[in-house]
Structure 1
Amino acid sequence: MQDSGAKLFDWQIDSDNPWWNRPLKYGEIGCTLAHLACWSQADEHSNAPYILILEDDAVLNPGFLDTLLAGLHRLQEQAIEFDLLYIGRYPLEPDRPGPATGFVRPGYSHCSYAYLLTRTALPIMLAAGLAQAIIPIDEFLPALYLPHPRPDLRARFPPQLTALAVHPPLATQRAKTEAGSDTENSDFAGT
């Protein structure tokens, strides 16, 4: 990792949260680097207004594309701006009402297996310095749209984006019993 300039955030803290009270796992690091690579690739090689990120275990609902395009059209018609749109996720804190039918303002969420970014969000996300302080992608995305529950992450990655979530979700995640988990089934870094 030294060759790429990537560095790990001082992750492990004394906490009742079991995800924070342990070292990062190699799979979490790899997942974050994969998302970063997708953003960089899209930023360098695409002029599309939206970038759809799907992990390999995302399952799209029937009619996914038509429903997504209709929702994006509704947001555009109503001049509702956003940077990050969750297509599927696991809410850990309650959502707030959204600005349009079919959308909510997401609370703290995990499982970033399906989301959409706007073209304007890419440079903000890439400039946030995630490569210099790698944390799990499931912690980074919420930190960019709400004050993170961890003070150290809140200080390192302050909110900079406006997020929405499709409700009900347009994608689910394959069960870990069926698909496994590249993050959870990996070794701890540095051990």
Structure 2
Amino acid sequence: MGIKAMPEYADPYHKRPLTMGEIGCFLSHYTIWYNVLERGQEVVMVLEDDIRFEPYFRQKVMGLLEETRRLSIDWDLIYLGRKRLAEADGEEWVEGSKHLVWAGYSYWTLGYLLASSGARKLVEGQPLARLLPVDEYLPIMSDRHPEELWKAHFSPRDLRVMSAAPLLLFPTHYTGEQGYVSDTEDSITVPSVSPHQRDDL
């Protein structure tokens, strides 16, 4: 498969290019999306390995799914844990729900529920040809990302993304805490070359 970094991408905070860890993280999620389609699965739960669960996690997740059925909600992805960014646009409660909101610009892919419709949209977006971190790709595909230059690479951007409210997953450690390790942030960056020189990674 041809994998190319998005030429315009630079980390919003550190202004650095994509790291090898971010590439690996994206590919692990992409493989799950692809397998959902290959195996004909209707709904899957995707969990990263550095999470802690809220009490009664299983019952609460089953309650969310039951609520989507009861309210006949058309959804593609539901965040179970995320970082809602301070500059996120206004979020609205899903009509009739006390536990789900339509998600604005969010980071982290700690854990989420993914419907087959969402897996199809994420794969059909062909992200490997213009790669950026997975937690930038998800809000781009739901058209809730503020960076217009990055969004212009992908169409349509109609991923229907909700979030559990309150959240059901959190990181085991936060940045700066003792024991915090990041396989994505602390890995080497992709060599900086001009867009015209950039070959497959």
Task: Indicate whether the TM-score tops 0.5.
Answer: yes
Equivalent position SS for 1:44: helix
Equivalent position SS for 1:97: coil
2:199 alignment counterpart: none
Q: Percent identity?
A: 28
Q: CA RMSD in A?
A: 1.7
Measured after TM superposition, the shift of residue 95 of structure 1 is: 4.6
2:152 alignment counterpart: 155
2:27 alignment counterpart: 33
The aligned amino acid for 1:98 is W
Gaps of 5+ in 1: none
2:77 alignment counterpart: 84
Cα distance in 2 for partners of 1:34, 1:89 equals 18
The structure richer in helix per residue is 1
2:60 alignment counterpart: 67
Contact kept in structure 2, 1:98 and 1:164, CA below 8 Å: no
Out of 76, 91, 113, the residue aligned to residue 116 of structure 1 is 113
Cα distance in 2 for partners of 1:60, 1:38 equals 21
Cα distance in 1 for partners of 2:129, 2:7 equals 11
Where does 1:1-40 land on structure 2 (aligned, <5 Å)? 4-12=1-9, 17-19=12-14, 21-40=15-34
Q: After TM superposition, where is structure 1 displaced by more than 6 Å over at least 4 residues in a row?
A: none
Measured after TM superposition, the shift of residue 138 of structure 1 is: 0.7
Equivalent position SS for 2:83: strand
Contact kept in structure 2, 1:6 and 1:134, CA below 8 Å: yes
Gaps of 5+ in 2: 193-201
Measured after TM superposition, the shift of residue 65 of structure 1 is: 1.2
The number of aligned residues is 184
2:92 alignment counterpart: 97
Contact kept in structure 2, 1:11 and 1:135, CA below 8 Å: no
**1:61-119 deviation digits (Å, cap 9, x = unpaired):** 22111111111101211111111100000001155122111111111000111111111
Q: 1:39 to 1:10 in 2, by over 3 A?
A: same
2:163 alignment counterpart: 165
Contact kept in structure 2, 1:26 and 1:187, CA below 8 Å: yes
What TM-score do you get using the length of structure 2 for normalisation? 0.85
Contact kept in structure 2, 1:147 and 1:154, CA below 8 Å: no
Cα distance in 1 for partners of 2:186, 2:57 equals 30
Out of 131, 135, 140, the residue aligned to residue 132 of structure 2 is 135
